[in-house]
Structure 1
Amino acid sequence: MHEPDQDRTTALLSRWLHEEATRHQPDRDRIWSRVETAMRPPEPRPARRHRRAWSVTATATATAAIAAVTSLTVADRADVLPSLPLAGQGTTGASAPPSRAAAPGRQQTREPTTAPTRPTPGPKVTVRASLSPNNSRYWAENRLTLHVHRPLKSLQVTIQVARTGTLAPAGAWSSLPASDHRPQTRTTRTAVIYHWTLHAGRTLRPGTYTFAAQYTPGPGHRPAADTYTVTTPTPITGHF
């Protein structure tokens, strides 16, 4: 473009701008409205408000869910774990588990109860046979010592001394009261028999009693051949 044309264009543009500026009048109310609007503090965005409310709701929901899970976990463990006594509370007095009832249609059997057995009583009398330490070829004595363990209503004691050669009776005695028994001695061809009988209606109390048969031994006498019988009324027999 040549220089004269450029100057002409500039002049036309300047005139057009001047005419437009003269014709234009600013709208003051609109300008001040825009200024006041610009000066106001910005209102919170709805999106942010909704997002914040959602965050609060989500936090509350998560907290409730955690509390529910914790509650269920504690409840499940309470079903599994055994119940423990409180502090200071012992186990004494705790109720025992209920006994299992018998199944329907099935008869419950009981173990047979046996009556307690009574101890077998021991013997009423124990007997010990002995010879006097003073025995000689001129005089001898066979002794019976009775240990009475229970009261006796009847008692008979017999000592038989076998006869050999010139053996003969030389007396007899007993520790029983004379009023409670009757002594008796008799001689046969083969033995001298000494006999004591408790009177009827008398009771021999527990204790130790002695019965002795005295004799003069003959040649060849052996005390092992002498015998005794104690009847209470069960007979007890033996040799010296």
Structure 2
Amino acid sequence: MRHQDVHEELSARLHEAAEGHEPDRARILARLERGMAAQSRPDHRATRPPVFGWVRVVSATAAVASVLAIGGYAVASAVKSDSPAQQTVSVSPTPSQSPAATSHAPVKPVAPKPSSDSDATSQSSPKASASTTSSATPTPSIPVVPPASGTEDGPLWSDGSIDPGSNDFWAQSDVTLKTTKQLTALTVQLKIKQTGGVTSTGAWRSLPEDDFTLTVAEQDGFLVYTWVLKEGRTVAAGEWVFAGQYDHERGGRDAKDDSYSAAGTVGAAGTAGGQQLAVKGDFAAQKS
């Protein structure tokens, strides 16, 4: 039998003995009384001095107590050896909360609102905040371009095309103008149909930036780019490009509903002597 098994069997027996043992106090007391009565009888002849009788009683009592004490200690030792050793775990004190601490997430910054009427709407989401701000801000006025009959008008010719660098997420629409005469006034307008996710990412033109005022706005389901030549500036004869750039939903975008128009003046601008020109087109291939 293994040592561990012997140890476990001994522990179990000691447990049973300790639990089942009950000292017979009545028997012990009766024995003591008999001894005392025998000493008190007059005819009793002590074979030993009285003191030795008491010593025997006391010795017997001490022996019983010693046995009980040793048995209890053995049981306690066995039980103690079987129980797992206690482990002490060091626990850090709970940190005190700083007055500046907060239990909720930080609030997202909200764009400044020009009016207190939009407080409830602007708190709902960043998208709602943006729409509220745009509604509170006056929409830029979009210039009206005079009607045109086609892509050519006298010395002015036009074409619309999608830049070959466009991709599944982004596109650039180009309006190309050719003029054989100097223009003293010019307005170019590009309309991009809102086919889903269409948002402006910029615009440019091959003529000097400072010569034009650019307006980008949404109107009637279109993203509208408008370039207007500033007063006192001119456009030299040549070929020029005006481009609008925008994001859109993933996938190929159909530009069949996009369009452009342009109006210019040859000669003195704003006088009866100037020649008014107007062109328009879409983004199908055009022949010059």
TM-score calculated relative to the size of structure 1? 0.47
Which protein is bigger by CA-based radius of gyration? Answer: 1
TM-score calculated relative to the size of structure 2? 0.39
